[in-house]
Amino acid sequence: MDRLAYFNIFFDFIHKISPLTEYDKQLCYDHFEIIKFDKNTIIEKAGKIHLYENFIISGILRKYRLEETGIEITTAINTEPGFFSCFSSYTEKEISNENLESITNCVLIRAKRDDIDLLLKKGETLQQFTLLVFQKIIDAEKLRAFDLINLTAKERYLKFANKHPQLMQNVPLQHIASLLGITPQSLSRIRKEITE
């Protein structure tokens, strides 16, 4: 796939949220880069300010933090097409406590924070689009927090499985269990109950 084909996937996704002018598309084309990562690669590390806004062309990414006990807590998983970053570190320029990792081989389109700031100043429609994307991210985080408090483990699992069948097939179960706030053993028991 050539560079233009990757960007067409990017622009098609953006168009569903807020149409871009040709001028803004050219700005993105000039300032975003295409980069590929092998599976199980740490793309951005905890303990540093995360510098990039990532758009997933293909593959699956996850965010996780490492507890003092050595346990990994998965806080988000996303797949193509979609934006994915350590939101608070990226927007507030704060040191992140999360790692950003490729679960599978990935192709990303990404830009540094400084380039995004430049695009927002120069662009005609990019600021409106960016506000809509950030609002979607905030809403998704609120919904996840609500689900963790108000749904049973089984309800959380069924909701996730129905909404993300591709992730169910390609993400290790321990990551899904962690994301849903349950132990791998509980997840195995729930899956067994459902299939019986």
pLDDT at 38 over 70: yes
pLDDT in tens, 5-28: 999 999 998 888 888 888 888 888
Residue 43 or 140, more confident: 43
pLDDT at 90 over 70: no
Which residues are CB-contacts of 161 (< 8 A; sequence separation ≥ 6)?
Answer: 168
In which band, very low, low, confident or very high, does the pLDDT at 132 lie, cut at 50, 70 and 90? confident
SS3 state of residue 172 = coil
- Asked if residue 23 and residue 78 are part of one domain, the reply reads yes
- Asked if residue 167 and residue 128 are part of one domain, the reply reads no
Distance between first and last Cα of the chain? 44
pLDDT at 129 over 80: no
**What pTM was computed for the model?**
0.86
DSSP string, 62-110: EEEEE-TTS-EEEEEEEESSEEE--HHHHHHT-B-S-EEEESS-EEEEE
pLDDT in tens, 135-192: 877 888 888 888 888 999 999 999 999 999 889 889 999 999 999 999 888 988 998 8
Distances (CA, A) of 168 to 63, 70, 77, 158, 164: 17, 25, 11, 11, 6
Q: Cα–chain-centroid distance for residue 166?
A: 15
- Asked if residue 49 and residue 129 are part of one domain, the reply reads yes
Mean pLDDT within 2-7: 89
SS3 state of residue 60 = strand
- Asked if residue 141 and residue 65 are part of one domain, the reply reads yes
Contact by Cβ (8 Å): 131, 124: no
Q: What is the pLDDT of residue 4?
A: 82
- Asked if residue 164 and residue 69 are part of one domain, the reply reads no
- Asked if residue 159 and residue 145 are part of one domain, the reply reads no
pLDDT at 126 over 80: no
- Asked if residue 183 and residue 87 are part of one domain, the reply reads no
In which band, very low, low, confident or very high, does the pLDDT at 123 lie, cut at 50, 70 and 90? confident
Residue 96: which domain range? Answer: 3-150
Task: Count CB atoms within 10 A of the CB of residue 124.
Answer: 12
- Asked if residue 140 and residue 155 are part of one domain, the reply reads no
- Asked if residue 21 and residue 114 are part of one domain, the reply reads yes
Residue 12 or 86, more confident: 12
- Asked if residue 95 and residue 42 are part of one domain, the reply reads yes
pLDDT at 71 over 70: yes
- What's the number of domains the chain is made of? 2
pLDDT at 50 over 90: no
Rounded Cα–Cα distance for residues 64 and 48 (Å): 14
- Asked if residue 41 and residue 56 are part of one domain, the reply reads yes
Q: What is the pLDDT of residue 55?
A: 92
Q: What is the pLDDT of residue 34?
A: 95
- Asked if residue 143 and residue 155 are part of one domain, the reply reads no
Distances (CA, A) of 3 to 26, 69, 118: 13, 43, 22
What does residue 77 show for φ and ψ, rounded to 5 degrees?
-140, 140
